[in-house]
Amino acid sequence: MTDVSASTLKGPSGPKPKTVFSSTNIMIYGTLLVVCLYYLLPLYVMIVTSLKGMPEIRMGNIFSPPVDVTYEPWVKAWAEACTGINCDGLSRGFWNSVWILVPSVFLSIAIASVNGYALANWKFKGSEVFFTILIFGAFIPYQVMIYPIVILLRESGDGITNIIRLFDSDASKFRLMGSVWGLVIVHTIFGMPILTLLFRNYFTSVPEELFKAARVDGAGFWGIYFQIMLPMSLPIFVVAMILQVTGIWNDFLFGVIYTKPDTYPMTVQLNNIVNSVQGVKEYNVNMAATLLTGLVPLVIYFASGKLFVRGIAAGAVKG
Amino acid sequence: MNMANSVEIKKLDLSFGSIEVLKDLNLDIAEGEFLVLLGSSGCGKSTLLNCIAGLLEVTDGQIFIKGKNVTWAEPSDRGIGMVFQSYALYPQMTVKGNLSFGLKNAKFPKAEIEERVARAAEILQIESLLNRKPSALSGGQRQRVAIGRALVRDVEVFLFDEPLSNLDAKLRVDLRVEIKRLHQQLKNTMIYVTHDQIEAMTLADRIAIMRDGKIMQLGSPAEIYDLPMNKYVADFIGSPSMNFIQGDIKGQYFTIGDHKIPLKNYSAKVDLNDGQKAWIGIRPEHVVVGEAAQKSDYNSTITADIVEPMGADTLVWSKFAGQPFRIRLGGTFPVSSGQKLHIGINASSVSLFDLQSEERL
């Protein structure tokens, strides 16, 4: 009997052997490697340049690693670089950006998640029309709205001033235009369409029976939101947070228009440092400043990348 | 019959836009009764349950629970508990959190919440699971927690929305028995929605068969099975379903071509008119064979086309008077395809329906 079974095992059997250096593999990994290099090369140049002194840069070998590593450009970019008459580096812009970012992200996500929840679970007459209008907002180019918003911010600032002066006639003028709060409002409004869409679609995928069960259990609008929906939706909140943090941090246009030099966000300040036409171009400082500005979104991506992917995929899989 | 009604539904209408789902529906459910709403999908049975629960706003009519008009009341104020098809357990809360959620919303004191949760857990035998999350429970355990959520709130009426549909066949049978046992123990009013006639027949005190938002027949399982009020109900209940053959009533006979079935043992609901066109309905299991066939009101010979042995019984597909005809025999009856069978039909076990109105005659 053993002879028979041995003879039947001749020829292919078990898993097919895999060759590591097959032509397909070489093609795939070769292409990936080239693409990787292509994308990482500029980053490499930036990092090495930011670690060189100016004399070394003038020698012109931009790909060579620094002979004499110096952190001077980083310190200068952070604390000493001049924009106009201010010479306190990017640090001021960084803190301005933080003061813009935190309330904008918090406000826009808080409002959009409640919007999405209401549109998904508490449908009212005309809720679909309302939703369509909101989504339509995502397709209108920002540039169209820049000047109307300037007027809106200025006028509503004046309006609020008038209300305050009813109670305290000596109160100083309250400004929305040119202040951090004005920019926060603008970011919150512009985040609304895409974030509401994101949250509505997520909450729609939550089984309706869960919502019904909570109503039978006596939970109201806010009870269901805070106790049932919110704990279930961490991934989508992370997605929204990443979208908003990167979007708002990288914003230049709104920052330069709706704030003034004291409150310029980091991106605007970076531009002013890099594009200054006076004096020597300090490439190492510029590189360091750019890397510093890009650091926040980068950290956010690395810290929450996994949750981001899970959140994006969450619509497809039921919990 | 002087029992208090637990749930009363009066002239209930519900429309979604121009689509009428429920039409002028009236239903009284007695205290402690187990009522099953049975129907195919889209018949409005789940909609009716959602109306009773207060999860859908009615277009017209009234709902009373325990004599109180709850038509405008919130779901939580109606004295109902609901068990859903997916169980709808809150995934981020433990079993204990799930059970106490309703009580916390109703602002019960902590000690009483503890006490009620403990009691419900004891009745349902889930004490050891209290600190687990729903994802760590089996299907049967989840269902018990879902029932427990209604139990802790001390509700008047339990509403079940197809609670067994998500389970595999074996577990379904086990849990069916468990629900029945629970009903006998708690003696609450229970309203149970299903499309499964076996569940309906086994669980119900009364079954309401629904179609197009109307109740076609309301009665005990035996009434529904033996005396279906119309052809739809007759067709819906029983598996395999009833055989229907068209024919004429002539005097004391029902004639199908050459076949004349005597009707003197048939207890008619209305007077039978001579020459009336009608359907005769014969349940596959009511066709008799062998010696019993000789003694029956009418007998004939048919040829077995296809034989389906199912262990406990055997299905025979055949033709009678040129029409498809199914017979259900005992599992031990020797029959093979192509074989001639001597069959008998008793008028006392058939149903007659008017050809046009399809109402029972």
Q: What is the pLDDT of residues B312-327, one digit of tens each?
A: 899 999 998 888 999 9
Tell me if chain B has a CB within 8 Å of the CB of A231.
yes
- SS3 call for B137: coil
Q: Are A167 and A238 in contact (CB under 8 A)?
A: no
Q: Which residues contact residue A117 at a Cβ distance below 8 angstroms, ignoring those fewer than 6 apart?
A: A199, A200, A203, A225, A229
Provide the pLDDT confidence category of residue B166 given band limits of 50, 70 and 90: confident
Count of alpha carbons within 13 Å of B87, Cβ hemisphere only? 24
What pLDDT is recorded for position A177? 86
B255-283 per-position pLDDT tens digit: 998 888 998 888 888 888 888 899 999 99
Give the pair of three-digit tokens for residue A18: 């895999």
Judged against a pLDDT cut of 60, whether residue A317 lies above it is answered with no
Judged against a pLDDT cut of 50, whether residue A316 lies above it is answered with no
Cα-based angle A93, A97, A103 (whole degrees, multiple of 5): 155
A86, amino acid identity: N
Judged against a pLDDT cut of 90, whether residue B210 lies above it is answered with yes
Q: Give me the residue spans of the domains in chain B.
A: 5-236, 243-354
Please tell me the distance from the alpha carbon of residue A236 to that of residue A303, in angstroms, as a whole number. 15
Pairing state between β B80-83 and B157-161: parallel
Name the burial class of residue A214, with classes exposed (0-12), middle (13-18) and buried (19+) by CB atoms within 10 angstroms of its CB: buried
SS (H, E, C) B295-307: HCCEEEEEEEEEE
B91-117 per-position pLDDT tens digit: 989 999 999 999 999 999 999 999 999
A55-92 per-position pLDDT tens digit: 888 888 888 888 888 888 899 888 888 777 777 888 88
Which of B56, B82, B92 has the most A C-beta neighbours within 10 Å, making it the best mutation to test the interface with A? Answer: B92
Look up tokens 């086309």; give the residue: B305
The DSSP code sequence of A35-94 is HHHHHHHHHHHHHHHHTS-HHHHHT--TTSPPSS---HHHHHHHHT--BTTB-STTHHHH
Residue among A107, A307, A101, A109 nearest A196 (CA): A109
B359, amino acid identity: E
What pLDDT is recorded for position A302? 83
What pLDDT is recorded for position A3? 56
Judged against a pLDDT cut of 80, whether residue B84 lies above it is answered with yes
Does domain B243-354 sit in CATH 1.10.150.20? no
Give the pair of three-digit tokens for residue B72: 């405008």
- SS3 call for A262: helix
Residue among A199, A170, A44 nearest A109 (CA): A199
Average pLDDT over residues B331-349: 88
A254-278 per-position pLDDT tens digit: 999 998 888 899 999 999 888 876 7
Q: Are A284 and A53 in contact (CB under 8 A)?
A: yes
Pairing state between β B157-161 and B189-194: parallel
A305, amino acid identity: G
A183, amino acid identity: L
Q: Which residues contact residue B290 at a Cβ distance below 8 angstroms, ignoring those fewer than 6 apart?
A: B333, B342
Count of other CB atoms within 10 angstroms of residue B237: 22
Distances (CA, A) of B216 to A17, B161, B245, B258, B361: 66, 20, 21, 34, 15
Q: Are B9 and B70 in contact (CB under 8 A)?
A: no
Judged against a pLDDT cut of 60, whether residue A131 lies above it is answered with yes
Chain A nearest-CA distance from B30, in A, is 22
Judged against a pLDDT cut of 60, whether residue A96 lies above it is answered with yes
What pLDDT is recorded for position B1? 37
- pTM of model > 0.90: no
Interface size A-B, in CB pairs within 8 Å, comes to 63
Give the pair of three-digit tokens for residue B196: 């499964």
Residue in A213, A219, A228 nearest the CB of B84: A213
* A214: closest chain B residue by CA: B102
Provide the pLDDT confidence category of residue A6 given band limits of 50, 70 and 90: low
Which of A121, A206, A217, A225 has the most B C-beta neighbours within 10 Å, making it the best mutation to test the interface with B? Answer: A217
Q: Chain B partners of A124 at a C-beta cutoff of 8 Å?
A: none
Longest dimension (CA), chain A: 108
Tell me if chain A has a CB within 8 Å of the CB of B108.
no
The answer to whether ipTM exceeds 0.90 is no
Judged against a pLDDT cut of 90, whether residue B50 lies above it is answered with yes
Tell me if chain B has a CB within 8 Å of the CB of A128.
no
Q: Are B100 and A218 in contact (CB under 8 A)?
A: no
Q: Chain A partners of B53 at a C-beta cutoff of 8 Å?
A: 212, 216
Please tell me the distance from the alpha carbon of residue A225 to that of residue A219, in angstroms, as a whole number. 9
Provide the pLDDT confidence category of residue A319 given band limits of 50, 70 and 90: very low
Domains annotated on chain A, with CATH? 71-313 (1.10.3720.10)
Q: Chain B partners of A122 at a C-beta cutoff of 8 Å?
A: none
A residues 184..223 contacting B (CB < 8 A) = 207, 209-210, 212-219, 223
> What topology is assigned to B5-236 in CATH?
Rossmann fold (3.40.50)
Residue in B84, B86, B106 nearest the CB of A218: B106
SS (H, E, C) chain A: CHHHHHHHCCCCCCCCCCCCCCHHHHHHHHHHHHHHHHHHHHHHHHHHHHCCCHHHHHCCCCCCCCCCCCCHHHHHHHHCCCECCECCCCHHHHHHHHHHHHHHHHHHHHHHHHHHHHHHHCCCCCHHHHHHHHHHHCCCCHHHHHHHHHHHHHHHHHHHHHHHHHHCCCCCCCCCCECHHHHHHHHHHHHHHHHHHHHHHHHHHCCHHHHHHHHHCCCCHHHHHHHHHHHHCHHHHHHHHHHHHHHHHHCCHHHHHHECHHHCCHHHHHHHHHCCCCCCCCHHHHHHHHHHHHHHHHHHHHHHHHHHHHHHHCCCCCC
Backbone φ, ψ for residue B11 (5° rounding): 50, 45
